[in-house]
Amino acid sequence: MSTLAIRGGEPTREPRKPWPAWPPANERAVQLVSDVVRSGRWSYDGPREWEFAHKFAAFSRARYCVPVANGTVAIQLALEALDIGAYDEVIVPGLTWQATAAACIDVNAVPVLVDIDPETYCLDVAKAEAAITPRTKAIIVVHLYGAMADMDGLVDLARRHNLRLIEDCAHQHGSQWRGKGVGGLGDVGAFSLQESKVLTSGEGGLTLTNDWDLFQKLYSLRNCGRSFQPGSPTVQSGNYRLTELQAALLLAQMEGMEERVNRRDENAQRLNARLSQIPGIRPMKRHAAVTRQSYYCFSFRYDSAAWGGIPGPVFRRALGAELGLGVSGTYEPLNDCSLYRPHTKRRYHISEEYWQAIDPARFSLPVCERAYRDEAAVIWHGFLLADAAEVDLVAQAVEKLYEHRDELKGLEQ
């Protein structure tokens, strides 16, 4: 009789028991949204929005926060505020959500896709340096899933080559490097507030900076070009604003945000310690400089050779069946990503030179491809808010799969 759930056996976790729900609907959110509805002030620059902006900046230990319409726009406006545009090259990790690169082509810059560090799945510093040319103007670093990039190395690299540094922090609300929050380590930080993120208003985004001039530019760019204060110059832009209703949802979540981030981090560190004892399972590297790690997803690495050649997709399906959780691979590498197809949009064909430069197929990303194809196991962050005993079931399920790995043979990927 089969032991593993994928073969009809009893799962590690009771299948009818729900994992923690997300987003966190509660009466405080209902109250704050109701207050906004009754106030008659629903649009932008209201008291709730600026209250949230000040609180998130303080939470992140940054000076200025500018809420915007979404995370993609946050990256786009960061690029524009830094005067990055047509034909400028921007180094982008090859493993990220497609919006990181799409924001570059939206300002007619050229995303240069660079491979990742196999221990963090974040931008490889040495490969980024090798990709620098006279046209390179900026680096976008993505702190991916439950890991941070080597910010000491990247800050130094940007300084030595006089490059701008943008942090894509869509996965990292609350992470800290040497006690300083992500988003404030480079020139501009960009965050998503989409429904699945650890801080959400359904849709939305924000930018962080420690530079007063950049703050004013970001404000103008998100607000149809209007200046932040009288007498400042205006710029050409559009409407990329957040609303008071969204700000109310965000304020409700800021209450308890510190506790939730810390809880995820504590659960993840304990889980990683146990997973590291299982053959063929390697947690993501946590740099010594990381003083707190936030988790949009929890990821670890699976070595199929140590499991008798069981393919990664089979392992992920089997783990999901044991836990009643979705266990996925990574994003598709951007050199062959179904959602990153620049040549399907005529507006990017500004010249033959540019058309060829933005072809993602010209880049080789072997580490990204290995992670996506077989190595990575990725679990969405909700489970990390469960009780410690529930989170430990993830390691227990992996141990069970390893013990009975012969039952996984013959399963289709």
Residue 31 has pLDDT above 90, yes or no: yes
The model's pLDDT over 265-295, given as tens digits with 9 standing for 90+, comes to 999 999 999 999 999 999 999 999 999 999 9
CA distance linking residue 106 with residue 172, whole number of Å: 24
Q: Residue 237: which pLDDT band, with cuts at 50, 70 and 90?
A: very high
Structure tokens at 134: 């006279």
pTM: 0.96
Ordered domains of the chain (ranges, CATH): 27-255 (3.40.640.10)
The model's pLDDT over 338-369, given as tens digits with 9 standing for 90+, comes to 999 999 999 999 999 999 999 999 999 999 99
Number of neighbours of residue 219 by Cβ within 10 angstroms: 23
Q: Is there a contact between 166 and 79 (Cβ–Cβ < 8 Å)? A: yes
Residue 54 has pLDDT above 70, yes or no: yes
- Stated as kind and residue range, the H or E segment containing 251 is helix 244-254
- What's the Cα-to-Cα distance from 229 to each of 64, 211, 215, 239, rounded to whole Å? 15, 16, 12, 18
pLDDT attached to residue 413: 61
Mean pLDDT of 158-177: 98
